[in-house]
Amino acid sequence: MTEGRIFNIQRFSIHDGPGIRTTVFFKGCNLRCEWCHNPESFYCGKQIEIHPNNCIGCGKCFQICPNKAHYIDESGNHRIDRQKCVGCGKCANVCFSNTLIAVGQTINVESLMKSILTDLDYYKSSGGGVTFSGGESMLQIEFLKEVLTECKRQKIHTAVDTAGAVQWRNFEKILDVTDLFLYDLKAADAEIHKKLTGVDNGTIIDNLKKLSEARAEIIIRIPYVVGLNDDQIEGISDIIEPLNISKVEVLPYHKLGNSKYKALEINNKSPELEIPSDQMIEEAVKILRSKNINAIKA
Amino acid sequence: MLNSDKVVLSPLFRKRIQNLHDNKISINNMKIEKLGSIDIDDHGFIYYDNFKFEPKTNHKCGYVYGSKAIGENFREFLNQIPTYINMNSALATCWIGTIDNWVKVGIIPEDKMPDFEAVCKEYKITQSGFGAMNHLGPDIKIGLELGWDGLLEKVRYYRNIHNPIDTSFYDGEEQLLLGIKEWILRHSKYARELAEKEKDELLKKNFTEIAEMNEWLVENPPRNLREACQFIAHFQAVDRTYFAGGALGQLDEILRPYYEKDISEGILTDEQAVWYVASLFFNDTHYSQIAGLTPDGSRDMTSRMSFIILDAMHYIHIPINIALRVHDNVNKELLRRSLEYTVSDGTGVDYSLNVGCEEGYAKNGFPVQVGRLRAKVGCNWTALPGTEYPLQDVTRCNMPIALVKAIEDIKKMKKPSIENLWEQFTYHLKVMLDCIKEGHDGHYEVVSRNTPEIVLNLFMHGPIERGLNAAEGGVDNNSLCIDGIGLATVADSFAAIEQRIINEQRITWNDLFDALDSNYKKNEYLRLMMKNINRFGSPDSIAEKWAIRVKDFFVEYAKKPTPKYHLKIIPGMFSHGDVFAYGKLTPATPNGRFNNEQISHSNDPDPGFARGLDTFAASLKATAVAKTQPGLGNSSPLQLDVDYGMMNTENGINALISLIHTHNHMGGTLINLNCLSKEQLMAAHEDPSKYPDLVVRVTGYSAFFSSLSKEYRQQVVDRFLSN
């Protein structure tokens, strides 16, 4: 049976598509957006978060780590040598203080469906369903396709949240089992896009056009980040204008993910980004609406 | 077409209601200053620190007992307490505290049961139900139709007709009613004095109207909405004075006939109606219900009055206890409006759910049509207005104590096992339940001659007609509650043992026993290991399986009738806010809980249960609570504390509506809801005095956050943060 690697199952999601949804977060992403609030999604393998404030000093992780990756730094803090850590998870398995948390779990379709079906009554009562996000769920296309197919068999509404930077044939594989695409557009200018995310946007825009031609249901999501892509709204609206798009959501940047960078000991490129004001978002929405685009603040 | 428009208040009524809000804050601040923190429901009493009362006792130990003595003392008490009229209110009177602050009322020593008390002491049963009072639902319409004088005539009529040898039952009721009339008359005179002195024309008019209204009500039933609200205010004050209580009824239906008549006669506006109801809420925080199905199930009872009640609640913004009865066809606009108010105000109504409450009640052998009448009139509980003696909310069976005793038993065994532990746990649980039932039998035997329901007898169908207290045949339906508490503490403990000792063999039984004996001292690692399993609330967990098993056993054994008098029992699961009080009596438990730490609340999962791939979600918690409903109509609430930022959107409100309906379909009974922002909550916890009007639903009851002790505030904070 096909397996996938995920890192979170978030039930009762109300901002990832219609109704009450379960959002499944896939591990692994081919973008590196500067503002990403899910840094645990970057790497597809298992990782260990460390929260030193919870540490009770039992030493079990030190004892069990095969690569001796745990150490105490000069300030007396418990740290992990990320060069040595292979993410085996043995340390997290003996840590009960929530200091070490293994992020990323391999799961098969049957187990994932069992989790998804827990909230079936809520999907039915609210017109909700399941959203596959991440990371980039479409990088695990075979697994994603199987889960989507099973969801449709159970008459569950499906949505895929994607950055779109994958081969078109991946979209083709899931078109008939995906009710809704939540499609991220982060910048219109290719160079700026590459600077902010690590990839250019040519494939992303091409895929979007093809999705539109295929009459897929699409909601565009624009993360609004002050000082990084706030000058891209006009250009993005030009891309969207000729396409068949249900709605555009402008998502204000938030800082909720900052602690995760620290826990994973990943460099946070932009820890001090400004939270956009309501006025800024309203301005962005206004620009989109001026092109007859159905836009809202999310 | 039902008018669901929000009532827009003119400056006069907006100011009056705002003033009532401000007055309530001041009164509450004074109470905190004089009395310290108040962890129970907010009550509407006005504190008078100089009031003194000397009762006339009739027992050598200083008790006042029996209907006649209580009635006589109550009459005198009502004649001595201060008169109270708030100039911003449409109504007169207040209450000043429960009578037991001044009068020693309770079960006299000769009627106590020493053997029973010994078992209670051993098993730390501090709320056995024996001697408990004022937890039944009145039919206030009895009083509204007759008026206070009509009730007095009724008492005298039946005393005359029955001509009992011992007239004390009726004598006591007569004394109470005379005292009530005299108290109301004093308020009428007081209002006249205020009117005479008052120079402001609007205030003068208000005092004059209050005077005339109260004068009328001394001798007559109410004629209009304001008089009906005034009658209910009288009732609330007297009812609370006698053992607190707080049950009212289906408020929208109670007031609707008066509202419709007044509107048709052109003597009432909607904003006046809002003011009257707001004044009633200021008078006291009695529990009432709006909406719900008619008894025949054919339609929803929502009316214009239901919306007016909601608007009054919103405008005055103080602790208020209204439940909205949800069913599939509940008025959509009413439900949405109630949630909008919860989002804007932080809290609002709670949601009483028809499937669990009504269809569950029918499983006891009652017609479901009768179940539909069972209104939510307590912090957690429902009762049939005027016809049921349910002894709700006064009995708690602390299941973790049975577990602790079971652990002591298996320590002595050569080879402890989880099967042995279960056997001993169920043994001790049976001992506790048998003890409580013995107490219920004893209560039935003695309560009526000690502390009859002298106030609520007047508002029940049967007691006055029969000359019998509600507890001993005054009403036809005695369905006595027993609430189990601490379900998650027990389930998580069993699950931790199964996982860590049996399945994973990470620790031994002796390791666990040593850790418990030492209160986990120097064994934080083991404690956290036991704590951080997939706890109850996690889907398909071992703990969920144990929770269902414990619940099933509890319900099956608890519902057996009492041994001596075969009184019917309906089990529930509700801890009120007493998780700290019971925690202090409960030694360390295998779920990683320290000695003295709070136990789990009702049948809610403990905060922080979500682990691994699963993050916390309201639906996870709701599903867990639904799966562990006792299922016989008595409530086991779902406590939800949601983030304001998440809910203050169209999606948020829609999601809550779906959650409420889904929880109902799953057999849930009650949802208590807070909608808070983290910043405000943390700031208010740090310095409650800076947020004097922050209102929260603690469990089933509503209170000012600033009134709560630090540990009760922590309860709300912990729940919110774990979400």
Burial B126-164 (b: 16+ CB within 10 A, else e): ebbbbbbbbbbbbbbbbbbebbbbbbbebbeebbeeeee
Determine the Cα angle at B287 with ends B285 and B292, to 5°: 140
Name the pLDDT band for B719 (thresholds 50, 70, 90).
confident
Say whether residue B10 is in contact with chain A using an 8 A CB cutoff: no
Kindly tell me if the per-residue pLDDT of B699 is higher than 90: no
List, for residues B570-622, the tens digit of each pLDDT value: 999 998 888 999 999 999 999 999 999 999 999 999 998 988 899 999 999 99
Q: Where are the beta strands (DSSP E) in B139-279?
A: 247-250
Tell me: cis bond preceding A104? Omega within 30 of 0 counts.
no
Residues of B in contact with A252 (CB under 8 A): none
Out of A8, A98, A119, closest to residue B619 by CB: A119
Residues of A in contact with B529 (CB under 8 A): 96
Q: What is the pLDDT of residue B649?
A: 80
List, for residues A87-139, the tens digit of each pLDDT value: 999 999 999 999 999 999 999 999 999 999 999 999 999 999 999 999 999 99
- Report CB contact under 8 Å: A14, B655: yes
List, for residues B16-48, the tens digit of each pLDDT value: 999 999 999 999 999 999 999 888 888 899 999
Kindly tell me if the per-residue pLDDT of B650 is higher than 80: no
Q: What is the pLDDT of residue A258?
A: 82
Residues of B in contact with A98 (CB under 8 A): 532
Say whether residue A275 is in contact with chain B using an 8 A CB cutoff: no
% of chain B beyond a pLDDT of 70: 100
- Residue B443 has a CB neighbour count (10 Å cut-off) of 29
8 A C-beta contact, residue A192 and residue A229: yes
8 A C-beta contact, residue B407 and residue B590: yes
List, for residues B293-313, the tens digit of each pLDDT value: 999 999 999 999 999 999 999
Give the position of tokens 């092109």: A291
B128/B345 Cα distance (integer angstroms): 36
8 A C-beta contact, residue B671 and residue B414: no
Bridge partner residues of B397 (DSSP): B484
Say whether residue B540 is in contact with chain A using an 8 A CB cutoff: yes
Residues of A in contact with B623 (CB under 8 A): 118-119
B675/B668 Cα distance (integer angstroms): 20
Q: What is the pLDDT of residue B573?
A: 95
Query: What are the C-alpha distances in Å from A35 to residues A32, A58, A94, A257, B252?
Result: 9, 36, 33, 9, 52
- Residue B205 has a CB neighbour count (10 Å cut-off) of 12
Residues of A in contact with B620 (CB under 8 A): 11-12, 118
- For chain B, the C-alpha Rg in angstroms (whole number) is 25
Name the pLDDT band for A259 (thresholds 50, 70, 90).
confident
Q: What is the pLDDT of residue B157?
A: 98
Kindly tell me if the per-residue pLDDT of B723 is higher than 80: no
B577/B600 Cα distance (integer angstroms): 10
Name the pLDDT band for A235 (thresholds 50, 70, 90).
very high
8 A C-beta contact, residue B312 and residue B18: no
Say whether residue B658 is in contact with chain A using an 8 A CB cutoff: yes
User: What does the block give as tokens for B572?
Assistant: 């529930």
Name the pLDDT band for A140 (thresholds 50, 70, 90).
very high
> Strand, coil or helix: what is A201?
coil
List, for residues A6-49, the tens digit of each pLDDT value: 999 999 999 999 999 999 999 999 999 999 989 999 999 999 99
Classify burial at B219, counting beta carbons within 10 Å of its beta carbon; exposed 0-12, middle 13-18, buried 19 or more. Answer: middle
Least confident range of B52-61, B65-74, B415-424, B687-696: B687-696
Bridge partner residues of B504 (DSSP): none
Q: Strand A21-26 to strand A129-134: parallel, antiparallel, or no bridges (unpaired)?
A: parallel
Q: What is the pLDDT of residue B254?
A: 98
> Strand, coil or helix: what is B15?
helix
Tell me the Ramachandran region of residue B416: left when phi exceeds 0, alpha when psi lies from -120 to 50, beta otherwise: beta
- Shortest alpha-carbon distance between residue B677 and chain A (Å): 15
- For chain A, the C-alpha Rg in angstroms (whole number) is 20
Residues of A in contact with B652 (CB under 8 A): 14
Say whether residue A121 is in contact with chain B using an 8 A CB cutoff: yes
List, for residues B325-358, the tens digit of each pLDDT value: 999 999 999 999 999 999 999 999 999 999 999 9
Least confident range of A69-83, B65-79, B471-485, B504-518: A69-83
User: What's the pTM value of the predicted model, to 2 decimals?
Assistant: 0.95
Residues of A in contact with B662 (CB under 8 A): 121-122, 125-126
Q: Could you tell me which of B51, B83, B48, B46 has the C-alpha nearest to residue B188? A: B83
Out of B525, B618, B661, closest to residue A58 by CB: B525
Out of B528, B612, B652, closest to residue A14 by CB: B652
Classify burial at B90, counting beta carbons within 10 Å of its beta carbon; exposed 0-12, middle 13-18, buried 19 or more. Answer: buried
A131/A144 Cα distance (integer angstroms): 11
B608 → chain A, closest CA residue: A98
- Report CB contact under 8 Å: A20, B619: yes
B486/A53 Cα distance (integer angstroms): 30
B615 → chain A, closest CA residue: A10
Q: How many CB pairs under 8 A join A and B?
A: 81
Residues of A in contact with B646 (CB under 8 A): 14
Q: Strand B702-704 to strand B695-697: parallel, antiparallel, or no bridges (unpaired)?
A: antiparallel
- Residue A32 has a CB neighbour count (10 Å cut-off) of 13
CB within 8 A of B331, min separation 6: which ones?
A: B2, B4, B291, B300, B302, B306
Single-letter amino acid, residue A230: D
Tell me: cis bond preceding A227? Omega within 30 of 0 counts.
no
- What's the average model confidence in pLDDT over B637-658? 89
% of chain B beyond a pLDDT of 90: 91
Kindly tell me if the per-residue pLDDT of B245 is higher than 90: no
B658/B331 Cα distance (integer angstroms): 14
The chain-wide mean pLDDT, for chain A, equals 94
Q: What is the pLDDT of residue B203?
A: 97
The interface residues of chain A toward chain B in range 40-69, judged by CB-CB distance below 8 A, are: 56, 58, 60
- Angle, helix B67-80 to helix B168-197, in steps of 10 degrees: 10
A6 → chain B, closest CA residue: B613
Name the pLDDT band for B698 (thresholds 50, 70, 90).
confident
Say whether residue A123 is in contact with chain B using an 8 A CB cutoff: no
Query: What are the C-alpha distances in Å from B197 to residues B164, B187, B190, B201, B204?
Result: 50, 15, 11, 11, 8
Interface with chain B: mutation pick from A121, A250, A251, highest number of B CBs within 10 Å: A121
| DSSP category for residue B714 | H
CB within 8 A of A191, min separation 6: which ones?
A: A200
Kindly tell me if the per-residue pLDDT of A255 is higher than 90: no
- Residue A168 has a CB neighbour count (10 Å cut-off) of 13
Three-state helix/strand/coil letters over B570-613: EEECCCCCCHHHHHHHCCCECCCECCCCCCCCCCCCCCCCCCCC
Q: What is the pLDDT of residue B3?
A: 96
B362/B571 Cα distance (integer angstroms): 14
ipTM surpassing 0.90:
yes
Q: What is the pLDDT of residue B648?
A: 83
Residues of B in contact with A41 (CB under 8 A): none
Q: Could you tell me which of B369, B441, B430 has the C-alpha nearest to residue B405? A: B430
The chain-wide mean pLDDT, for chain B, equals 96
8 A C-beta contact, residue B155 and residue B52: no
Q: What is the pLDDT of residue B39?
A: 86
- Residue A270 has a CB neighbour count (10 Å cut-off) of 15
Kindly tell me if the per-residue pLDDT of B156 is higher than 80: yes
CA–centroid distance for B494 within its chain: 31
Kindly tell me if the per-residue pLDDT of A256 is higher than 80: no
Longest dimension (CA), chain B: 86
Give the position of tokens 């054994």: B557
8 A C-beta contact, residue B492 and residue B533: yes
